[in-house]
Amino acid sequence: MNRLFRMLVIGTVLAAVGGATAFAASKADPAIGTWTLNVEKSKFTPGPGPKSATRTYAQTADGSIALTFSSVAADGTATSGQSTFKYDGKDYAYTGSPDFDTISVKRVNATTVKSAQKKNGTVIGWTTRSVSAHGKVLTLSTKGKDAKGMAFHWVAVYDKQ
């Protein structure tokens, strides 16, 4: 009887821990969805910033995050690109930027990730991406150097669509 009781207790504990772990793993990434740039709330130093921008984050079948983006620069030039990555700190290809060609991303907490942007293996910038507590505002704070070596600091604020 004592052995049966121990097995039941251990089984219950394992089921509870396994269930909690599965629940935590299944929590949706708060960045998933489509976001549009709020130009008025954003700051681009040096300027000017883009006229418009849209970012879409989607979960893939293997657990990666697929990012697609498009923007219109102040001079009217359209840009688009994409990347598919995991929050594991490894380098992943990034298209659409003349300033960097790979990105590595790590989760800080449930609503914040940090990424390093690299050009030919050299880090040229860092971004902190955070989603507000209510899940309706995504902020990208980026510091780095562009392809010409000019330092920049951008705080891009996006609204969820």
Q: In whole angstroms, what is the distance from residue 105 CA to residue 103 CA?
A: 7
Q: Alpha helix (H) ranges present in the chain?
A: 2-26
Q: Do 79 and 109 fall within a single domain?
A: yes
Q: What is the CATH number of the domain that holds 62?
A: 2.40.128.20
Q: In whole angstroms, what is the distance from residue 140 CA to residue 84 CA?
A: 18
Q: Do 65 and 96 fall within a single domain?
A: yes
Domain containing 3 equals 1-27
Q: Do 134 and 78 fall within a single domain?
A: yes
Q: What is the pLDDT along the chain (161 residues), one digit of tens a residue?
A: 544 444 444 544 444 444 433 434 446 899 999 999 999 999 999 999 999 999 999 999 999 999 999 999 999 999 999 999 999 999 999 999 989 999 999 999 999 999 999 999 999 999 999 999 999 999 999 999 988 889 999 999 999 99
Domain count, the chain: 2
Q: Do 56 and 5 fall within a single domain?
A: no
**Nearby residues of 56 by Cβ (< 8 Å), 6 or more positions away:** 33, 34, 35, 67, 68, 69
Q: Do 41 and 103 fall within a single domain?
A: yes
